[in-house]
Structure 1
Amino acid sequence: MEKKKWGRLSFWCNGTSVPKGVAILIKPTLDINVTEKYRDTEGRKLIVEVKLDSNEIVRIFNVYDPNNGVERKDFFNKLTINKEKDVVNYVLGVFNCCLNRKLDRKHMPKREDVSNHELKNFIEKIELTDIWRLRYPNKKQYTFSRGKSYSRIDYIFTSENTDCRLNNAKNIYFPFSDHDGVTITMNINEPERGPFYWKMNNSVIKTDLFKNTFETFWKSWKHKINKFKDKKEFWDLTKTKIKDITITISKKLMLNENEVKKWEHKLETLLENDGTQQNLSEVEKLKNDMYKYYERKAEAARIR
Structure 2
Amino acid sequence: MTPLIATLNTRGCRMALRRSQVLSYLWEGGYSVVFLQETHTDPTAKDSWRLEWGDRVYFSHFTIWQAGVATLFSPNLRPEVLGVTEAVPGHLLHLRVHMEGLVVNFVNIYAPTTSPKRPQFYQRVSNFLGTLDSHECLVLGGDFNTTLEERDRSGAELSPAAANFLREIVEYHSLIDVWRDHFPDDTSTFTFVQVEAHRSHHSRLDRIYLSRFHLSQAHSSAVRPAPFSDHHLATITASLHAERPGPAYWHFNNSLLEDEGFVTSFPPLCDVGEV
Please indicate the TM-score interval, normalised by the length of the shorter structure. 0.5 to 0.7
Residue in 1 that maps onto 2:232: 180
Task: Give the SS at the match of 2:152.
Answer: coil
- Cα 1:72–1:12 change in 2 (3 A) is same
2:143 aligned with 1:97, yes or no? no
Post-superposition CA distance 1:88-139 (Å, at most 9, x none): 11111111011102x101x343887451111101111222111111111121
- How many Å apart are 1:188 and its aligned residue? 3.2
Counterpart AA for 1:169: S
What are the within-5 Å matches in structure 2 for residues 46-195 of structure 1? 46-52=93-99, 54-79=100-125, 80-81=128-129, 82-101=131-150, 103-105=151-153, 107-109=154-156, 113-140=160-187, 141-147=189-195, 148-189=200-241
Counterpart AA for 2:96: E
- Cα 1:21–1:111 change in 2 (3 A) is closer
- How many Å apart are 1:157 and its aligned residue? 0.9
- Cα 1:32–1:174 change in 2 (3 A) is same
**Which sections of structure 2, spanning at least 5 residues, go unmatched?**
1-42, 243-275
Post-superposition CA distance 1:152-195 (Å, at most 9, x none): 111111111111011111111012111111110101349xxxxx
Superposition CA RMSD, Å: 2.2
Cα distance in 2 between the residues matched to 1:112 and 1:63: 17
- Cα 1:175–1:8 change in 2 (3 A) is same
> After alignment, is 35-44 or 2-11 more displaced?
2-11
Q: Indicate conservation of the 8 Å contact 1:77/1:122, yes or no.
A: no
- How many Å apart are 1:35 and its aligned residue? 0.3
> For the pair shown, which has the larger CA radius of gyration, 1 or 2?
2
Post-superposition CA distance 1:32-57 (Å, at most 9, x none): 111010115631111111111x2210
User: TM-score, length-normalised on structure 2?
Assistant: 0.63
Count, aligned residues: 187
User: TM-score, length-normalised on structure 1?
Assistant: 0.57
What are the within-5 Å matches in structure 2 for residues 1-304 of structure 1? 4-5=50-51, 6-16=53-63, 18-40=65-87, 42-52=89-99, 54-79=100-125, 80-81=128-129, 82-101=131-150, 103-105=151-153, 107-109=154-156, 113-140=160-187, 141-147=189-195, 148-189=200-241
More helix by share: 1
Cα distance in 2 between the residues matched to 1:110 and 1:74: 17
Cα distance in 2 between the residues matched to 1:155 and 1:124: 16
Q: Give % identity.
A: 25
- How many Å apart are 1:86 and its aligned residue? 3.6
- Cα 1:19–1:151 change in 2 (3 A) is farther
Task: Give the SS at the match of 1:51.
Answer: strand
- Cα 1:145–1:113 change in 2 (3 A) is farther
